[in-house]
Amino acid sequence: MMAGAPALAAVDWGTSRFRLWLLDSEGRVLALSKGSEGLEAGRRLGFEKVLRNHLGRLLAPEALPILICGMAGSHEGWLEAPYVSLPASLDQIAEAVVAVAGTDLDVRIVPGLAKRDPAAPDVMRGEETQLIGVAAGGAAGRRRVCLPGTHSKWVALEDRRVEDFTSYLTGELYALLSEHSILRHSLAGIDAEAPVDPGNPVFVQALEHTLSAPERFFAELFSIRAAGLLNKLASTDAAARLSGYLIGAEVATALRDEAAPTAVTLVASGGMAGLYGVALTAAGAAVETVDADGAARAGLMAIATRCIAGGLARQGA
C-alpha cells in the first residue's frame, strides 16, 4: 500500500534530543527529522524556532497538526502540560493534551503521568506515549513493561491503563559513576554513552551477582577501582562490571515481588535492548521486545487520532 499525504507531525521532544516523524493518516512514516536540540536548546533558541527548523522541508506546516510528547511539556519546557494522575487510560491522556497558543502552528503537547503516592511519588514524561503505543498493539490483561534509560521506568499495565510505575536512576548512575567517581580511573577511555557488550562474560557475571542479591551493589562497587589497581582490570571489563551490577540491581529490585516466571515487555532499541534482554532472561522473565521509537510513534498516532477534533485528514479528503 502506498503511503498517503502528510496527516500528522509526531514529535518526541526530550531533555537531550528531538525527533519528528511526518506520518500519514494510517501512521506510516513519510519522513523523519531528528537532532540534539533538547530542552535547553528549546529554551535558548525558542521552541517554535527549533520546531519550525525541523518542519522546514514541509510546504505548509500551518495546515498540519503537530503532537509533541516528552520534556517539552514540563514546567521548564514550551508549555506545561499538567500530569495526569494514576491510574490513567489512553482516553484520559488524550483528553489532557494541551494546545500551544500564540503561534500559527497547530501544536499540542501530551501530558506526563504522576503517581501521587505520598510514600513513593513518581513522575514520567514521554514514556506514557510509548506505553500507549505498546498497549494499543497488545492484548488486554495485566503486563509488566520495562523502559530502560537514563531514568528507567517499570510499569504495570492493566487492560491498557497505566496502574503503577517506578523509576530507577540506572542510566544516570552509570554515567555519573563512570565519568565523575573514583571508578572513572578504571573506566578510562570508555564512552559512557555507548552500551557495553552484552556478550561480555564479565557483564553476565556481575549481572548475576546483583540479580541474586541487589544490595551487593553497595559492597562491590568499589571493587571495580581496586581491581583496576591490583589486577589491571581492562577498562572495557570495568565498564561491563559496572553496567552488570547496576542493571542486575534494577531488574532484581523491580521483579522482587513477582511470582516467577514473569512476562516482561521490553521497550528499547539497539544496545539497551541487548543488555536488558540478557538481564531479564537471566532473571527468569519471558521477554517480548518492542522497538522504543516505534512505540513512541504508535503512541503519538493513537493519541492524535483521539484528541484532534474530526480526526486526522485522510488522504485525498
Binding site for a copy of itself (CB under 8 A): 75, 83, 114-116, 118, 120-123, 151, 166-170, 172-173, 176-177, 180-183, 214-223, 225-227, 229-231, 249-250, 252-254, 256
In the complex, the smallest distance separating the C-beta of residue 297 from a copy of itself, rounded to whole angstroms, is 26
Name residue 271's amino acid.
G
In the complex, the smallest distance separating the C-beta of residue 254 from a copy of itself, rounded to whole angstroms, is 7
Q: Across-strand partners of 166? A: 154
Name residue 13's amino acid.
W
> In the complex with a copy of itself, which residue's Cβ is closer, 17 or 216?
216
Asked if residue 267 lies in contact with residue 250, where contact means CB atoms within 8 angstroms, the answer is: no
DSSP-H helix ranges across 31-186: 39-45, 47-55, 90-95, 127-136, 170-180
In the complex, the smallest distance separating the C-beta of residue 213 from a copy of itself, rounded to whole angstroms, is 8
Count of beta carbons in the 10 Å neighbourhood of residue 120: 8
In the complex, the smallest distance separating the C-beta of residue 36 from a copy of itself, rounded to whole angstroms, is 19
Residue pointed to by grid coordinates 504495570: 156
> In the complex with a copy of itself, which residue's Cβ is closer, 12 or 250?
250
> In the complex with a copy of itself, which residue's Cβ is closer, 2 or 232?
232
Asked if residue 300 lies in contact with residue 12, where contact means CB atoms within 8 angstroms, the answer is: yes
> In the complex with a copy of itself, which residue's Cβ is closer, 49 or 116?
116
Asked if residue 160 lies in contact with residue 90, where contact means CB atoms within 8 angstroms, the answer is: yes
The span from the CA of 179 to the CA of 241, in Å, is: 15
> In the complex with a copy of itself, which residue's Cβ is closer, 103 or 205?
205
In the complex, the smallest distance separating the C-beta of residue 263 from a copy of itself, rounded to whole angstroms, is 20
